[in-house]
Structure 1
Amino acid sequence: MTAIHITDIEAAINHWRQRAPACDRMGLSPQVQALAEVYALMVYRHEDAVEEDALPLDALSAWMGWYDTTPDTPCIAICSTSQGDDLCKGCGRTFDEVQHWPAMSPADKRQVWRRITLEHSAWRFNRYAERAAEGASKPPAV
């Protein structure tokens, strides 16, 4: 199994806090409660990751509920691995990661997302991504 980083647990907690905020008379939502228990143990133990198979089922279910709202792939439709590069200039994934992406588990995919985000060198993280997003929002010139 693959480890889930604490930042993903935090993101999932924040997702569920927005979707099901606590109010004065009610405690935390079941999803936040399940994830918060995992998060608290990670902080207490000074761990930055938890094995996917070590998550209680309710915490895993809550994490998967958040995961399902995230983009599946970092692809920006500029795949230099198809041109022979070992590392895609567009998304930052390795050739093997691109090839095996459909079969990868959610935790494996999040590990790749974390690596490429920390590296911050792929075109998806530079001005190209900003220009592509602007172009998508503008009507085509006639």
Structure 2
Amino acid sequence: MAGIHITDIEAAINFWRERSPSPDGLSLAAPVRALAQVYALMVYFHETEADEVTLPAEAREAWLAWFDSTPDTPCIAICSTSQGDAVCKGCGRTFDEVQRWTEMSPGEKRVSWRRITLEGDSWRFNRYAERALEQGSPRWSVNVPARVP
């Protein structure tokens, strides 16, 4: 079971706040409220990840709607795992992640996205960054300083 990082909960909250702003400045839309409760508990208990499977139904539904708005794959169509590399030089995924991508859960995919974004050393973040941006990379989902090629 994959853990949903607190930064993904924050991104989902902001996604819903933009789509369902408070009409009076005080009340929260149901998806924001559901995610905010999860977020508050994570902060209170000093947790950085929430279990994907045991999220309350409303929070899981709101998180999945946000997830569906992000690009599915970090692939930039330069796959070095097909040439025998253990980690793809293009996207940064491991051979196993590339092979299992279609069967991975949303949480597992986000764990991979977070890792490759934090590492920031695959070609999608330097040599071919413009290609990744054209494909709608969720680079904003993890605050990583821009790298100089």
The alignment's TM-score, normalised by the length of structure 2, stands at 0.86
2:62 is aligned with 1:78: no
Alpha-carbon spacing, 1:121–1:64, altered in 2? closer, same or farther (3 Å): same
Deviations 1:33-61 (A, max 9, x none): 00000000000011000111221000000
2:51 is aligned with 1:51: yes
Q: Structure 1 residue 128: deviation in Å?
A: 2.0
Matched pairs, number = 135
- CA distance in 1 between counterparts of 2:84 and 2:115 reads 21
Q: Which amino acid aligns with 1:55?
A: L
Alpha-carbon spacing, 1:133–1:121, altered in 2? closer, same or farther (3 Å): closer
**Match runs of 1:30-109 below 5 Å:** 30-109=30-109
Alpha-carbon spacing, 1:87–1:30, altered in 2? closer, same or farther (3 Å): same
Alpha-carbon spacing, 1:36–1:134, altered in 2? closer, same or farther (3 Å): closer
Contact kept in structure 1, 2:86 and 2:94, CA below 8 Å: yes
Q: CA RMSD in A?
A: 1.8
Q: Structure 1 residue 90: deviation in Å?
A: 0.2
Q: Which amino acid aligns with 1:66?
A: W
Aligned-residue sequence identity (percent) comes to 66
Q: Which amino acid aligns with 1:89?
A: K
Q: Which amino acid aligns with 2:23?
A: C
Name the structure 1 match of 2:113: 113
Contact kept in structure 1, 2:76 and 2:132, CA below 8 Å: no
- CA distance in 1 between counterparts of 2:91 and 2:6 reads 23
- CA distance in 2 between counterparts of 1:99 and 1:28 reads 40
Structure 1, gaps ≥5 residues long: 137-142
Q: Which amino acid aligns with 2:103?
A: A
Alpha-carbon spacing, 1:79–1:50, altered in 2? closer, same or farther (3 Å): same
Alpha-carbon spacing, 1:10–1:122, altered in 2? closer, same or farther (3 Å): same
